Amino acid sequence: MVNEYNRPDFIDKDPISIPHKFSKLQDIEISAFWVAMLSWGQRTTIISKANELMAMMDMAPHDFILNHSPKDLKPLVQFKHRTFQPDDTLYFIDFFKRYYNHNDSLESAFFSATTDVKTALSQYHNRFFDIDYAPKRTKKHVSTPVRKSSCKRLNMFLRWMVRSDDRGVDFGLWKSIKPAELMIPLDVHVFKVAQQLKLLKRDKADWSAVEELTANLRRLDSYDPVKYDYALFSIGAEKRTITPL
């Protein structure tokens, strides 16, 4: 199943298609993080809204974020996706501008002092909201394991940035940690299929479930456990028949 789905034709129908439009490191990071945070609901809608957002930034998100004028932000005030509202959009731009004014890569915001993903996600959440005017409502869009969240979208983003193979789907741009250290992105499809396959006993899709499932996937492949995200997600999304282990 991994071999069936982990291949280039997976890209076009998945939100990862958005960062694949870019070649510049910072454009890939910004678009990948943002589209990962927007990734709930139907994939076609997510891709459509992410394309809309990138077009509003002239298909050059890094340059737009560093050099925009107040007038350039006016179209973005209209951007919405489900519960993601204009205040969230404007704060994301504010954070990225402050961050990229002093840093070359988003990688250091996660892994400057740790290779433990749980710690990295907690530290990144604190850094993302490290200013007093950060909207309280925006915090629900960037999760943290401190609140027991499964951090599905953040773990998916890290899979995109860290995981590397010869299939060309994930980017493998970040080298601070190894794919072996990644945690499984636990969405509803992965959660249900993992339970059906008896890879997961926990009945709640929280951080403890992420740890349990990832530990079991490491028994199958200790070097690249989250490669199974392709199979677990696609089996559920396509409602394929499976046989428990």
Amino acid 244: pLDDT: 66
Domain-embedded: residue 199: no
Beta-carbon count within 10 A of 165 CB: 12
Domain-embedded: residue 200: no
Report helix, strand or coil for 173: coil
Domain-embedded: residue 204: no
Residue type, 118: K
Whole-angstrom distance, CA of residue 24 vs CA of residue 129: 26
Cα dihedral 47/53/56/60 (nearest 10) = -80
Q: In this structure, are residues 108 and 29 in contact, taking their beta carbons and an 8 Å threshold?
A: no
Q: In this structure, are residues 124 and 141 in contact, taking their beta carbons and an 8 Å threshold?
A: no
Q: In this structure, are residues 236 and 190 in contact, taking their beta carbons and an 8 Å threshold?
A: yes
104: alpha, beta or left? (left if phi > 0; alpha if psi -120 to 50): alpha
Among all chains, which residue has been given the structure tokens 């499984």?
Answer: 184
Whole-angstrom distance, CA of residue 184 vs CA of residue 215: 9
Q: Which two tokens stand for residue 217?
A: 């996937």
**Number of domains present in the structure of the chain:** 1
Angle of CA points 242, 195, 161, to nearest 5°: 90
Domain-embedded: residue 112: yes
Q: pLDDT tens for residues 131-164?
A: 999 999 999 999 999 999 999 999 999 999 999 9
Whole-angstrom distance, CA of residue 139 vs CA of residue 194: 28
Domain-embedded: residue 139: yes
Domain-embedded: residue 164: yes
Residues 6 or more apart whose Cβ sits within 8 Å of residue 69: none
Whole-angstrom distance, CA of residue 66 vs CA of residue 88: 18
Domain-embedded: residue 187: no
Domain-embedded: residue 228: no
Q: Which of the residues in the chain have pLDDT under 70? A: 244-245
pTM of the model: 0.96
Domain extent, residue 149, equals: 2-178
